[in-house]
């Protein structure tokens, strides 16, 4: 089981990512990874379950949403996106529909729409 990211660690990493983005710089990889994992952790707490796998490569993945659980192979409901899009969705800076229509979310399965559980707002 991965180590739990504390609220202070998560918020600190998010602040660092936002500061870097505000000045047009790439955020530090460690801050980006911590931010992504923290927001995935919050999503897992908000919408526990195992019917949808949310992937943000290469930083992390979490299974969420109550319903049928898969145990082997590729899950029937998968959401995959990049780190910047995930942070924007999870913090409410971007709407699910906008990111999906622009092709920045790859979603498959009937339960793969996370608009009801986003943002997680740390």
Q: Tens digit of pLDDT for each residue in 68-108?
A: 766 666 778 999 999 999 999 999 999 999 999 999 999 99
Q: What is the pTM of this model?
A: 0.92
Question: Is the Cβ–Cβ distance between 91 and 74 less than 8 Å?
Answer: no
- 67 pLDDT exceeds 70? yes
CB atoms within 10 A of CB 108: 14
Percent of the chain with pLDDT over 70: 93
Over range 14-34, report the average pLDDT: 96
What is the spatial distance between Cα 122 and Cα 111, in angstroms, rounded to a whole number? 24
Percent of the chain with pLDDT over 90: 82
- 1 pLDDT exceeds 60? no
Torsion angles phi and psi, residue 22, rounded to 5: -65, -30
Closest CA to 76 of 113, 44, 32, 109: 109
């Amino acid at each position: 089981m991965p180590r739990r990211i504390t609220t202070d660690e998560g918020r600190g990493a998010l602040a660092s990512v936002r500061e870097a983005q505000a000045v047009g710089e790439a955020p530090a990889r460690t801050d980006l990874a911590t931010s992504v994992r923290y927001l995935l952790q919050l999503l897992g707490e908000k919408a526990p379950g195992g019917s949808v796998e949310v992937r943000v490569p290469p930083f992390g993945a979490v299974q969420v949403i109550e319903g049928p659980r898969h145990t082997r192979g590729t899950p029937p409901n998968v959401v995959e996106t990049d780190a910047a899009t995930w942070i924007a969705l999870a913090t409410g800076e971007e709407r699910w529909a906008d990111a999906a229509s622009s092709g920045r979310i790859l979603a498959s399965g009937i339960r793969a729409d996370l608009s009801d559980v986003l943002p997680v707002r740390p």
